[in-house]
């Protein structure tokens, strides 16, 4: 298990002074990268072996969003590997140990030269120490299902600030894009995301959105409606 401490910055909060979901995602991503760097299998190691960890899906549950200046602890640990897949949990806690948010995620190790999944390298398997999987409520369906009726939204281009070190849209940026279609005052309690194909700089995204019973589903798609990413957001209970 790896962890680091931080304090909620002004740049990470919304108009109510609460940390945004995008900031939670950034903390989780940073924690996983810090962990890999500590073990010697970080960005440089991956680049030298022409592989990259690409997020396939994750589920995030928020109990409470921490406030500006609040002290937090962020933790992560892998709980399994299978072929080219890696499984990792995350936890964000308050200074007193309160569970603020937690996540389950599935990653694919991608061969950058061949453009297809690669088996876990022996050094990586030795570097990571597995811990038990976090107990989380299982989703009703393993795969996200798009609603039959979705409203097309205005298309937009992928910009340079969306791109990460893998030269495609960072997974957290997709979630930020999807949040544009939430009604005012909608606080996210649970978020699920599936990443189907990587969008790159210059691509155009054609969003479709649907609202049903405290839930908003967004298909960030190409011109033919094929998803780059599907984001499902459920409202936090008692947030209104």
Same domain, 128 and 153: no
Helix, strand or coil, per DSSP, at residue 42: coil
Confidence at residue 129, expressed as pLDDT on a 0 to 100 scale: 94
Position 173 pLDDT exceeds 70: yes
Token couple for 34: 């810090």
> Which of 122, 138, 154 represents a domain boundary (last residue)?
138
For residue 13, what are the domain limits?
1-138
Same domain, 88 and 113: yes
> Which of 95, 115, 138 represents a domain boundary (last residue)?
138
* % of the chain at pLDDT higher than 90: 85
Position 25 pLDDT exceeds 90: yes
Confidence at residue 53, expressed as pLDDT on a 0 to 100 scale: 93
Same domain, 116 and 3: yes
Same domain, 107 and 1: yes
Same domain, 216 and 226: yes
pLDDT, one tens digit per residue, over 55-81 is 999 999 999 999 999 999 999 999 999
Count the residues in the chain: 240
Confidence at residue 238, expressed as pLDDT on a 0 to 100 scale: 66
Same domain, 91 and 165: no
The count of domains in the chain is: 2
Q: Where are the beta strands (DSSP E) in the chain?
A: 2-7, 51-62, 71-82, 85-94, 99-111, 116-117, 151-152, 156-157, 188-195, 204-212, 215-221, 227-235
The per-residue pLDDT of the chain, averaged, comes to 93
| Cα-Cα end-to-end distance for the chain | 36
Confidence at residue 167, expressed as pLDDT on a 0 to 100 scale: 86
Confidence at residue 136, expressed as pLDDT on a 0 to 100 scale: 80
CB 200 within 8 A of CB 168: yes
**Long-range Cβ contact pairs of 5-13 (< 8 A, separation 24 or more):** 5/71, 5/72, 5/73, 5/74, 6/71, 6/72, 6/73, 6/74, 7/69, 7/70, 7/71, 7/72, 8/66, 8/67, 8/68, 8/69, 8/70, 8/72, 9/68, 10/68, 13/67, 13/68
Same domain, 113 and 176: no
Same domain, 132 and 184: no
Confidence at residue 240, expressed as pLDDT on a 0 to 100 scale: 57
Same domain, 121 and 172: no
d(CA 197, CA 227): 7
Choice between 165 and 197, residue whose per-residue pLDDT is larger: 197
The secondary element (H helix, E strand) that includes residue 37 is helix 21-38
Q: Classify residue 179 by its DSSP letter.
A: G
pLDDT, one tens digit per residue, over 196-227 is 999 999 999 999 999 988 899 999 999 999 99
């Amino acid at each position: 298990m790896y962890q680091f401490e931080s304090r909620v910055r002004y740049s990470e909060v919304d108009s109510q002074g609460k940390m945004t979901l995008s900031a939670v995602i950034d903390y989780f991503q940073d924690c996983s990268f810090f962990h890999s760097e500590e073990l010697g299998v970080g960005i440089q190691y991956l680049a030298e072996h022409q592989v990259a960890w690409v997020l396939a899906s994750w589920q995030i549950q928020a109990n409470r969003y921490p406030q500006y200046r609040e002290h937090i602890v962020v933790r992560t640990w892998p709980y399994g590997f299978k072929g080219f897949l890696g499984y990792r949990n995350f936890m964000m806690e308050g200074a007193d140990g309160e569970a603020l948010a937690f996540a389950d995620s599935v990653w694919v190790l991608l061969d950058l030269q061949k453009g297809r999944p690669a088996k876990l390298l022996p050094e990586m398997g030795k570097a990571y120490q597995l811990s038990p999987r976090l107990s989380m409520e299982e989703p009703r369906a393993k795969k996200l299902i798009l609603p039959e009726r979705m409203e097309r939204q205005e298309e937009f281009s992928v910009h340079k600030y969306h791109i990460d070190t893998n030269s495609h849209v960072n997974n957290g940026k997709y979630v930020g894009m999807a949040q544009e279609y939430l009604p005012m005052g909608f606080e996210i309690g649970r978020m699920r995301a599936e990443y189907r194909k990587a969008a790159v700089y210059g691509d155009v995204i054609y969003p479709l959105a649907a609202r049903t019973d405290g839930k908003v589903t967004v298909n960030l798609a190409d011109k033919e409606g094929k998803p780059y990413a599907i984001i499902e957001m459920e409202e936090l209970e008692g947030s209104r």
